[in-house]
Structure 1
Amino acid sequence: MDAPRPVTVRADFRGTIVALGGGGFSMSETGESAIDGALLQMARNRRQTVPRWESSPELPHVCFVPTASGDSRDYIGRFEAAFAGRAQTHVLSLFGQSPWDYQDPAMLEDMDLVYVGGGSTANLLALWRRHGVDEIMHDAAAGGTILAGISAGANCWFEASSTDSFGPLAPLHDGLGFLRGSVCPHFHGEPGREESFLRWIADGSLPAPGIAIDDHATVVYVDGEATSVMVESAEAGAFVVDREGMHEFSAEPLR
């Protein structure tokens, strides 16, 4: 199930990662999301500060990466509808399903924001490595591209994670290692998530520190360190979990 693979933290990682436990357009009936609004503002700010983009005042370029969902057409359509008029939208398709032909993953290095969708973490990681997306993501972040993702799209950046890629919830030790420790999305939003994650951190099945993120909450990392938490629901939060227990990050509510 969890194929042995040595995972080490990429100490050379530089850049911004935004890990969503859940929320954004993926979990919005209307497509509107304060988290997505914050991501777009980050992309606009980045566009103004990174020298190679100074001469491009148009809307930020945002690329959706739906690998974990098998390039779901519905998911892609929801992304394009949610970001229409607010960004120049792109889709990185590794399956090449029409009308989204296969794209050279190097396109990611020209994006202001890369937004990774949810689905199967294990499948995402396998395909990314086969197509070289993991190294391109690393280089894109170093060049100023903001990396963001929900659920599987949050799991992938860490050393390890809690996943249902194989059916029942299980530890997965196969992450990219851009961020140290392990992560659990949907922490209070899905049955069994909290109990299993706390147990796996306590008994060493998953590496500490563990980061537990609720639906409608997100943790922002800069150069590998957590810098802030944003929430779009008063009930949402994010937590640091270690062998002794857990404590909550302070969060900035979004409107």
Structure 2
Amino acid sequence: MITTVPRPPQIFAVSPTARPAGTPPGRRSALLDHAISLADVPKAKVCFVTTAVGDDPAAIASLYAVLAGADDAEASHLQLFPQPNVRDVRSFLLSRDLIWVSGGSVVNLLAVWRAHRLDEIMRECWEAGVVLGGGSAGSICWHVGGTTDSFSDDLDPVTDALAFLPYSNSVHHDATDQPRRVLFQRLVDDGTLPPGYATDDATGLHYVGTDLVEAVTAAPGADAYHVSPGVHRPLGARRIADRPI
């Protein structure tokens, strides 16, 4: 008799970064590699969710290209515009090993997910052991909230994310074009956001249950941080590498 050990709830929340010039099209990032490995199955069923970019066909196609020919993962996707592309969204998502959420507008993502009751389904998937993850909007959404440019080119707080994780989240923390680090610290200091975690580009946070167990990075010098009132503490992210071409 084979006994199946339930997988724990896991979230891998990342700050993606633009691929360097000359990178082959469709090459997988070290962060997505790491997310796939967390599923701990021979061939992970990966579902891409692109709500945050309005299910842009080009975005969906680019994600399929990333896993084309992969021997350790197979791609699928869930789109909600103009209607779901699968008949039973709940059963479909519960059958996946990894749900990977794209960047874009976290505010629009949250509104559309709630309209489709996807917030409830995502929690059920998480509790069932489906690995949840994603970058930027796909990172903030699992937390209490964070900072976003969903409303305008300026950064504003979002405080009504899904809160599977009882922390705030800042992505692209080392960006030089926006004052993300300063603003996130101020919002935590004044209580607008609870204490939480921030990630530089190419860096991810691995949670088991609601505990942060590790920060990893694919970029030299990049890190993750625990941010509480008056404190910005580096976590010393473990370096991971892209797979060889």
Of 106, 109, 116, the match for 1:131: 116
Q: How does 1:1-255 map to 2 (within 5 A)?
A: 15-23=9-17, 27=19, 29-30=23-24, 31-43=27-39, 45=40, 47=41, 59-86=43-70, 87-96=73-82, 101=85, 104-106=88-90, 107-167=92-152, 168-189=154-175, 190-207=177-194, 209-255=195-241
SS of alignment partner, residue 71 of structure 1 = coil
Give the structure-1-normalised TM-score: 0.83
Runs of 4+ aligned structure 1 residues displaced above 4 Å come to: 26-29
CA contact (8 A) 2:172 2:200 kept: yes
- Structure ranking higher in helix proportion: 1
Partner SS, residue 174 of structure 2: coil
The structural deviation recorded for 1:36 is 1.3
- Contact 1:95 1:102 survives alignment (8 Å): no
Query: Secondary structure of 2:123's partner?
Result: helix
Are the equivalent residues in 2 in contact too, given 1:94–1:103 (CA < 8 A)?
no
SS of residue matched to 2:144: strand
d(CA) in 1 for partners of 2:117, 2:157:
24
Contact 1:21 1:218 in 2 (8 A): yes
Q: CA deviation at 1:103?
A: 5.0
C-alpha deviation, 1:96, in angstroms = 3.7
| Distance (whole Å) between structure 2 residues aligned to residue 183 and residue 141 of structure 1 | 18
Question: 5+ unaligned residues in a row in structure 2: which ranges?
Answer: 1-7
Structure 1 letter corresponding to 2:14:
L
State the Cα deviation string for residues 120-171 of structure 1 (Å, max 9, x = none): 0110001111111111111111211100010001011111211111012011
Q: What letter corresponds to residue 71 of structure 1 in structure 2?
A: D
Alpha-carbon contact 2:197-2:226 (below 8 Å) kept: yes
Structure 1 gap ranges (5+): 1-13, 48-56
Counterpart residue type for residue 66 of structure 2: A
TM-score, normalising length: structure 2 = 0.86
One-letter amino acid of the counterpart of residue 245, structure 1: V
Q: Which stretch of the first structure deviates more once superposed, 184-193 or 109-118?
A: 184-193
Tell whether the 8 Å contact from 2:144 to 2:167 is kept in structure 1 after alignment. yes
Contact 1:216 1:236 in 2 (8 A): yes
Q: CA RMSD in A?
A: 1.7
- Rounded Cα–Cα distance in structure 2 between residues aligned with 1:235 and 1:32: 21
Q: CA deviation at 1:61?
A: 0.6
| Identity of matched residues, % | 36
2:28, 2:67 within 8 Å by CA — same for their partners in 1? no
Number of residues paired by the alignment?
A: 225
SS of structure 2 residue aligned to 1:38: helix
**Distance in 1 (alpha carbons) for counterparts of 2:139 and 2:148:** 11
The residue type equivalent to 1:139 in the other structure is E
